[in-house]
A and B are shown apart, each in its own frame.
Chain A
């Protein structure tokens, strides 16, 4: 090149709009070479060129930075430029692996937790119901409002009366649980049997997947009802999904039943039992034997309210006709959409969903903070882009591209994390989560994850994108990142973000803290009995001994069985009871002092149990007063009332708060004949779980009763499960057709009774721990960043003689302030939100000051440390280095 002033030409090329650049420079160069250079001195020619360049820059039409125009090749579509943005973002992220890693981990945790919890929420609360028009379908409970009972089962006679008299339901059907002996080729097996009135499936709006439904008349009293429908799993495992199962015969309790069909899954009713037989109308059934639950499908055009009024009317009629059994009876409707989870379960799930929502918010805030710091670091780059003609929209898009990319990767990894988590959840929470086998990643969960990812990208990317340095382009170009402590506005935003993060984390931590404290209280509760090394199992009495007239045989059978058990050296004690200890359900009755009139205040609801002597000792329950039952204490028909009974301390305290209960008599079941004389008071136990009140129980002698199945409790010296073969041996000796079932131990039952709470506590603690770490990372990051930018300032101050301790204190104070404000706001938020937890708490108030104080101080101390570390590092830099940087 023949001496064109390069610098001047470069300047011109940088500033001139691209569309003019070539021609303009070309013209200038041409003139310079053709006319100027040949006719002037070198210096004069140079000056001419420079003058041209400078005047051209000054003379540009609008006297502002280059017209803003998108850098784009002709023919580029929006897709191409989006691809460019993404490619650019990817390159940028790969160049900053540390930032990318932290961002991706943050989002993976946030999105993973959300996806996992959502998959549970979906299958338990949101998944479509397997029934037709679920909003027309109700469960109908009996109530006795004056006793505070709102979810009572119904007796068979009451059910048939409701079914016959009601005008509102297209189908009104009933379900009763029971169990039967299923005789197989080698050994008998105890299986759960559901008894369904003939219209039950039609009420649900479900048809068998194979075979036929019960016929409308198959529950009539004239029928023998020897037909059976199979549960889907049972059909698959026992029949290998053989369609020929339909039409075959199956032996239940020694009777041949014909298999007429196979049922679909519904996760609610049809998965409760292995086999389903018709509930045959038995006119001899007792009106006070409440064993059925009732469901109904409304007739077209009948409203829920009208149906309710109709059923209430029938309940009143029944109460008038049979006041001794039905007095005060009413009804209560539970829509089918509530069947899958009770209110505590729903609450726990929504609380967890809220918690992971908070977690994701924290993750977003953290990412926004990271992106903001990054965009500040890239100010110069962005400014140059803008100067070269990148439009505001384009820069905006480019900044969003990074968060979109991070969110996509985070969502993918989060999904993987969620799958692992769901797997763990199924193992951990098998007994705590309803329909746990249905939980999994499906298309809805995927959709949710996608939505979460988009929301995350937008939430965390918008702020930094809006804050892209644009307004003050020239300043940015001039100043670059040499400004002393960064842009004040940006610092303020980052402080607000940190405050928000800390506030959110604090709310989560308080929630988790309350649950942990409450779980701790639960562990401290004395359940009243010993659960260690207690084997439990059930058997059915042989058919030959379980009839009423065979009560002497029952006595002999139990004696024989327990006697043989006690001969084993590892058996410390053994006893029988007629109801599963720590089971999900109970049987109860009304009890009152015989000397008092029957009023609401004098009558108490109490569980009742038949037990063999030694039951209390086996469970480690001590006698409070009086004595245990003995072999001489017997029941009808071996002995006429009054019967000797033992009551639990909780019941004694209600019946006779101030008097000695021994020798007093009670009337049971509101029956004149059923009189019990108290011979002992035994320590109460919390049989329905440590979070429930001690149960009120009346213990009667098993001797004389013929109740089946019998539950055994065995206190063993070592591992309770090792006793099982011996038990089988004894049973095979006595009656080879008897299965042993519901084998377990009390430790496990006790653990399972709080499994839901434990799972909640565990999950919420895990989430809040992650939240804490993320929030602290946020505090640390902002502090480290602002200190790094102030290194030179700090250096100058130290050089000028400011004491390092004072400077340190100043910096840390400044950094901790937003965290402290966040803690304050978080405390208020937690105070407002924690009341939603109150139903999940045990013995701990939602406003428990210990939790609030602990959490707030932990967070505050952690924040101070997170600020101290970077500040300390900055002070370590020698003033000379710091100044040289300047």
Chain B
């Protein structure tokens, strides 16, 4: 397993946001979901470049919708997480939990 098979933090967040959104997943909703959950400001540009990267890795698929007036006559691109994406999420979670295993963080002392 190479390095590319693990997900970066922001990639995990975007993927998880999509999973949570289900069929509602597209650029705007992902951005809002991330912002709402993490409380940090996320730009639409970075969301798209990550979505793009994930699609290139084969974790996502996307579909073009019809133009909508509220979008200034522009189409919507909705994203679905593919099984490979779910697997990657599971692997990342497993790796993280392996790394966390046996570690207790004492908030007063800091990391041992």
Which residues on A are within 8 Å of B, measured CB to CB? 1, 4, 16, 20, 22-31, 33-35, 51-52, 55-61
* Max chain A Cβ within 10 angstroms of own Cβ: one of B41, B52, B71: B71
In the complex, whether B28 has a CB less than 8 A from a CB of chain A is yes
B72 near A26 with CB under 8 A, answer: yes
Question: In whole angstroms, how far apart are the Cα atoms of A690 and B70 in the complex?
Answer: 97
Which of B12-20, B74-82, B97-105 touches A? B74-82
Q: Which of A1, A29, A56 contacts B46 (CB 8 A)?
A: A56
Given contacts A56-B43, A56-B46, contact A25 B31 (CB under 8 A): no
B71 near A27 with CB under 8 A, answer: yes
A27 near B26 with CB under 8 A, answer: yes
Give the chain A neighbours of B46 by CB distance below 8 A: 55-56, 59
Q: Which of B48, B49, B53, B68 contacts A30 (CB 8 A)?
A: B68
Majority secondary structure of chain B interface residues (helix, strand, loop or mixed):
helix
Question: In whole angstroms, how far apart are the Cα atoms of A540 and B72 in the complex?
Answer: 106
Closest Cβ of chain B to A684, distance in Å, is 96
A33 near B43 with CB under 8 A, answer: no
B71 near A26 with CB under 8 A, answer: yes
Given contacts A22-B74, A26-B72, contact A60 B45 (CB under 8 A): yes
Give the chain A neighbours of B70 by CB distance below 8 A: 29-30, 33-34
Q: Which of B45, B71, B74 contacts A59 (CB 8 A)?
A: B45
Within 8 A of A (CB), among B25-59: 26-28, 31-32, 41, 43-46, 48-49, 52-53
B43 near A29 with CB under 8 A, answer: no
Give the chain B neighbours of A35 by CB distance below 8 A: 32
Question: In whole angstroms, how far apart are the Cα atoms of A477 and B32 in the complex?
Answer: 36
Total contacts A to B, CB within 8 angstroms? 78
Rank and list the top 7 A-B pairs by shortest CB-CB distance, nearest first: A56-B45, A26-B74, A55-B43, A27-B27, A26-B71, A27-B28, A59-B46
* Max chain A Cβ within 10 angstroms of own Cβ: one of B26, B41, B48, B77: B48
Give the chain B neighbours of A29 by CB distance below 8 A: 70-72, 74
B74 near A23 with CB under 8 A, answer: yes
A52 near B72 with CB under 8 A, answer: no
Question: In whole angstroms, how far apart are the Cα atoms of A52 and B72 in the complex?
Answer: 17
B75 near A28 with CB under 8 A, answer: no
A52 near B32 with CB under 8 A, answer: no
Q: Could you write out 16 A-B pairs with CB less than 8 Å apart?
A: A1-B72, A23-B48, A23-B74, A23-B76, A24-B27, A25-B72, A26-B72, A27-B27, A29-B70, A29-B72, A30-B76, A31-B32, A51-B43, A55-B46, A60-B49, A61-B52
Given contacts A27-B28, A28-B28, A31-B28, contact A52 B43 (CB under 8 A): yes
Select from chain A the residue with minimum beta-carbon distance to B53: A61
Majority secondary structure of chain A interface residues (helix, strand, loop or mixed):
helix
Give the chain A neighbours of B53 by CB distance below 8 A: 61
Question: In whole angstroms, how far apart are the Cα atoms of A16 and B74 in the complex?
Answer: 15
A30 near B45 with CB under 8 A, answer: no
Closest Cβ of chain B to A38, distance in Å, is 12
Question: In whole angstroms, how far apart are the Cα atoms of A28 and B76 in the complex?
Answer: 11
Question: In whole angstroms, how far apart are the Cα atoms of A59 and B68 in the complex?
Answer: 26
Question: In whole angstroms, how far apart are the Cα atoms of A29 and B70 in the complex?
Answer: 7
Question: In whole angstroms, how far apart are the Cα atoms of A58 and B43 in the complex?
Answer: 10
Question: In whole angstroms, how far apart are the Cα atoms of A24 and B49 in the complex?
Answer: 10
B28 near A59 with CB under 8 A, answer: no
Give the chain B neighbours of A24 by CB distance below 8 A: 27, 44-45, 48
Select from chain A the residue with minimum beta-carbon distance to B72: A29
Select from chain B the residue with minimum beta-carbon distance to A15: B45
Give the chain B neighbours of A59 by CB distance below 8 A: 43, 45-46, 49
Closest Cβ of chain B to A44, distance in Å, is 14
Closest Cβ of chain B to A560, distance in Å, is 112
Select from chain B the residue with minimum beta-carbon distance to A20: B48
Closest Cβ of chain A to B69, distance in Å, is 10
Give the chain A neighbours of B52 by CB distance below 8 A: 20, 61
* Max chain A Cβ within 10 angstroms of own Cβ: one of B52, B70, B75: B70
Give the chain A neighbours of B44 by CB distance below 8 A: 24, 27-28, 31, 52, 56
B49 near A61 with CB under 8 A, answer: yes
A26 near B75 with CB under 8 A, answer: yes
B28 near A16 with CB under 8 A, answer: no
Question: In whole angstroms, how far apart are the Cα atoms of A426 and B34 in the complex?
Answer: 87
Select from chain A the residue with minimum beta-carbon distance to B28: A27
A22 near B75 with CB under 8 A, answer: yes
Select from chain B the residue with minimum beta-carbon distance to A28: B44
Question: In whole angstroms, how far apart are the Cα atoms of A395 and B27 in the complex?
Answer: 34
Closest Cβ of chain B to A93, distance in Å, is 38
Question: In whole angstroms, how far apart are the Cα atoms of A120 and B7 in the complex?
Answer: 75
Select from chain B the residue with minimum beta-carbon distance to A19: B52
Question: In whole angstroms, how far apart are the Cα atoms of A52 and B27 in the complex?
Answer: 13
Q: Which of A1, A23, A34 contacts B77 (CB 8 A)?
A: A23
